[in-house]
Amino acid sequence: MFRKNVPETTIKRLPVYLGVLEHFEKQGREFVNSQDFEDLVDIKQAILRKDLSFFGELGIRGKGYEVKSLTFQIKKLIGIDSRTWKTVIIGAGNIAQALMKYKSFEDINLDITAAFDSDPAKIGKRFGNVPVLDIGSLEQVINEEGIKFVILTSPGEVVGEILEVLKQTKIKGLINFTPEYLRVSKKVKVINVNITAKILTMFFYLKNQ
Amino acid sequence: MFRKNVPETTIKRLPVYLGVLEHFEKQGREFVNSQDFEDLVDIKQAILRKDLSFFGELGIRGKGYEVKSLTFQIKKLIGIDSRTWKTVIIGAGNIAQALMKYKSFEDINLDITAAFDSDPAKIGKRFGNVPVLDIGSLEQVINEEGIKFVILTSPGEVVGEILEVLKQTKIKGLINFTPEYLRVSKKVKVINVNITAKILTMFFYLKNQ
DNA sequence: GAATGTGAACACATTCACAGCT
DNA sequence: AGCTGTGAATGTGTTCACATTC
């Protein structure tokens, strides 16, 4: 599908570009150029052009990029098109509840099918209209619903067992909100969202100017 | 303080090393070597050694690293020592509430002094014992408490005004949970925790194998 | 003329491989 | 003998600068 193998860094910037385009779309701009991107977020113009070049010639020389068309292209690349991505949240604690109530997920066609917990006090409840189910039914739901990636928020102690269950499924991705390092098959893409680590990194910068 | 200027990538790994050390500490290990790190998390042994070398000679040749002493050193580097870091959360929505209730922050001596919101229904409440104050008092509290960094969780629409208020303060860091790109003085270190972007990155990987 | 697309130069990060300590 | 610490080699990502296209 792509002309070259796309660098990790490029992939991480695609969502940023989408945000920039949305910004200009709201302003009614029909065309933007790479300098407009640089002025709005701190990504150098040459980076934007090189990033996009991995996916073809998406701009018009001498003119720039058409906002609508580039938005469409990037959405297609990422996979936000007609399709809806389904996921489940493992754990129904504080962070999980925040995610369940998070409105912006509608914009990216993310459908949180259910959350899973072992606490009887939580099972049966709903947060932001997402039901909390018994952790015992996790494997079954993933299989039945054809879930491709899960969001892990459970406490560190149970992560081991959860990974054993997930090994029985065909998931291809995992977003990890726990501070644990996860040892999973190379075929599963793990994306870490380690809040404590981010805060520690902030400490480091503050301490050392 | 440091022999060379430390790469960004090295700094981001320091919290990971702390996690590894904690793991081995729990197992009662007195010494670890760089291979032990590689076996536990997927960071190559040479990387660990080079990372640590920026801060001096922290190991013992032929033997490895003493768990307690290295833990102490890294904590000192990051700034988790006797001192407690104070912060405030701007916004008191779902994510803010999850952060306020988040237990693990005690381990890193993070003290969330207060959250700030404009919603009268939230002002005066407490989440995880953190009080929600009127957003109008933000500047005053930051100054009085000597807050060095803030956590931003408010909705996109009000981010502009908030940044104006923050400009009047002496904060040196900002952890950004909103999807907005923030234009702030170069003197303020911004760390982004963009959950939606992470999920979109996951979409990309799933779509393209 | 203006802004893209891209090879080439450069900067930064990782990995190798071995000298240097314990 | 064993494992760290680190220059040198390699690999990856960014920036430059200009030919190319509209």
**Mean pLDDT (chain B, rounded):** 94
A1 pLDDT above the threshold of 70 = no
**Mean pLDDT (chain A, rounded):** 94
Three-class SS of residue A178?
coil
Half-sphere exposure of A60 (CA within 13 A, CB side): 10
Residues of chain B with pLDDT under 70: 1-4
Whether A113 CB is under 7 Å from strand D: no
Please report, rounded to a whole number, the percentage of residues in chain A having pLDDT higher than 90.
89
**Quick one: pLDDT at residue B5?**
82
Say whether A194 and B80 touch across the interface (CB within 8 A). Answer: no
Q: Mean of the pLDDT values across residues A128-152? A: 97
Q: Mean of the pLDDT values across residues A138-149? A: 98
Whether B4 CB is under 7 Å from strand C: no
More confident residue, B171 or A83: B171
**Quick one: pLDDT at residue A82?**
76
- Residues for chain A: how many in total? 209
**Quick one: pLDDT at residue B83?**
83
For residues A60-97, one letter each, b for 16 or more C-beta atoms within 10 angstroms of the residue's C-beta and e for the rest, the string is eeeebbbbeebbebbbebbbbeeeebbbbbbbbbbbbb
**Quick one: pLDDT at residue B4?**
59
Nucleotide nearest to B43 (CA to C1'): C14
A120 pLDDT above the threshold of 90 = yes
**Quick one: pLDDT at residue A18?**
96
Nucleotide nearest to A56 (CA to C1'): C5
Whether B93 CB is under 7 Å from strand D: no
Per-residue confidence band for A4, with pLDDT thresholds at 50, 70 and 90: low
Nearest Cα residue to B205 out of A31, A74, A172? A172
Q: Which of B20, B94, B108 sits opposite A98 (nearest CB)?
A: B94
Say whether B173 and A201 touch across the interface (CB within 8 A). Answer: no
Dump pLDDT digits (tens) for B52-61. Answer: 999 999 999 9
Q: How far is A41 from chain B (nearest CA, A)?
A: 6
Q: Which of B11, B94, B104 sits opposite A102 (nearest CB)?
A: B94
**Quick one: pLDDT at residue A101?**
96
Query: What is the dihedral sign for C-alpha A15, A17, A19, A21?
Result: negative
Taking the CA of residue A53 and the C1' sugar atom of nucleotide C16, their distance in angstroms comes to 33
Q: Could you identify the residue whose CA is nearest to the C1' atom of nucleotide D2?
A: B62
d(CA A129, CA A156): 26
Whether B44 CB is under 7 Å from strand C: yes
Per-residue confidence band for A5, with pLDDT thresholds at 50, 70 and 90: confident
> Crossing angle of helices B8-26/B45-53, nearest 10°?
110
**Quick one: pLDDT at residue B82?**
76
d(CA B22, CA A34): 46
Q: Which residues of B touch A16 (CB under 8 A)?
A: 181, 197
Which DSSP helix (H) or strand (E) runs through B176? strand B173-176
Whether A33 CB is under 7 Å from strand C: yes
Taking the CA of residue B62 and the C1' sugar atom of nucleotide D1, their distance in angstroms comes to 8
Per-residue confidence band for A81, with pLDDT thresholds at 50, 70 and 90: confident
